[in-house]
């Protein structure tokens, strides 16, 4: 019995060490930040003011934005992007398998836009009411205590209401409303219902501006492997 107890203890310790090692791996980077923003590291108790551009993001990191805040996130495995608008709070959850990162954005509240083109791992956005899964698409999510709105710009999104288990496929130019009573309604998207994209406004303002490149060195703290991410910005 002592022998088997040692094996079980060793296995548990190995699992904990493996989880700890993975938690240190960067899975994304803050590509842009403006206004009032906050970043909380996976091993921290409190938020740090300012989600700084170039900051590496890891499993169980948190992002929060104030009224005027905006954060753009770039994921390292497949170049998926997430734009976080003002008055939002979310946790980044990730698991790695065979070089693919399966990503879940746990959105407590707020408005985000996801762009997933060359998808490698699973990409989901989970709220207190719903879960949305995709395979290559662009869509908005607005979440608050009254439920969720999913606006699909391109591709297809599968929306599941966690209260009733109801599942609906939402296609391009369609909007799904997932309600706390368990219902899911799908209708054609109205142009006025699509949130403003802060980066679209910036592109208009920056026409004729000089384009710079920010080269970010990403280091895996466990293997000492490295990769470089290049982000363009206007000035």
- How high is the pLDDT of residue 230? 65
Look at residue 18 in the predicted model and tell me its pLDDT: 42
Each residue's pLDDT tens digit, 69-115? 999 999 888 788 999 999 999 999 998 777 678 899 999 999 999 99
Split at pLDDT 50, 70, 90, the class of 210 is low
Question: Which of 33, 50, 54, 44 is closest to 218 using CA atoms?
Answer: 54
Structure tokens at 130: 């719903």
**What confidence category does residue 9 fall into, taking pLDDT thresholds of 50, 70 and 90?**
very low
Q: What is the pLDDT of residue 17?
A: 37
pLDDT at 8 over 50: no
Cβ-contact 129, 163 below 8 angstroms: yes
Closest C-alpha to 174, from 190, 158, 197: 190
> What pLDDT, on the 0 to 100 scale, is given for residue 120?
73
> d(Cα 109, Cα 143) in Å, to the nearest integer?
5
Alpha carbon distance 219, 225 (integer Å): 6
C-alpha span between 12 and 45 (Å, rounded): 25
- Distance (Å, whole) CA 63 – CA 8: 37
β-pairing, 100-116 vs 81-84, is: antiparallel
The domain limits of the chain are 26-97+108-118+196-235, 127-192
| Between 232 and 1, the higher pLDDT residue | 232
Q: Which string of DSSP letters, residue by residue, matches 161-195?
A: ETTT--EEEE-TTEEEEE-TTS-EEEEEPPGGGSP
pLDDT in tens, 219-233: 555 566 666 666 655
79 against 191, higher pLDDT: 191
User: pTM (2 decimals)?
Assistant: 0.79
CATH number of 127-192: 2.60.120.1440
Residue 4 has pLDDT above 60, yes or no: no
Quick one: what percent of the chain has pLDDT higher than 90?
Answer: 60
Provide the H-helix boundaries in the chain.
2-23, 198-205
> Which DSSP string corresponds to 4-34?
HHHHHHHHHHHHHHHHHHHHTSEEEEEEEEE
pLDDT at 148 over 60: yes
């Amino acid at each position: 019995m002592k022998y088997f107890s040692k094996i079980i203890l060793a296995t548990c310790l190995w699992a904990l060490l493996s989880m700890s090692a993975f938690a240190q791996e960067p899975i994304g980077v803050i590509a842009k930040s403006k206004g009032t923003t906050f970043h909380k590291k996976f091993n921290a108790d409190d938020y740090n003011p300012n989600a700084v551009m170039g900051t590496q993001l890891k499993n169980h990191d948190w992002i929060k934005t104030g009224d005027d805040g905006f954060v753009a996130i770039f994921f390292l495995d497949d170049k998926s992007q997430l734009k976080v608008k003002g008055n939002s709070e979310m946790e980044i959850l990730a698991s790695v398998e065979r070089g693919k990162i399966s990503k879940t954005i746990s959105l407590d509240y707020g408005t985000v836009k996801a762009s997933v083109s060359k998808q490698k791992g699973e990409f989901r956005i989970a709220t207190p009411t719903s879960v949305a899964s995709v395979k290559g698409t662009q869509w908005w999510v607005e979440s608050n205590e009254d439920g969720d709105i999913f606006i699909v710009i391109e591709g297809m999104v599968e929306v599941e209401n966690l209260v009733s288990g109801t599942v609906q496929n939402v296609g391009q130019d369609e909007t799904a409303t997932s309600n706390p009573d368990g219902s899911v309604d799908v209708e054609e998207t109205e142009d006025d219902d699509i949130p403003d994209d802060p980066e679209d406004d910036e592109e208009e303002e920056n026409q004729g501006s000089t384009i710079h490149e920010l080269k970010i060195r990403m280091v895996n703290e466990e293997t000492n492997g490295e990769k470089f991410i290049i982000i363009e910005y206007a000035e």
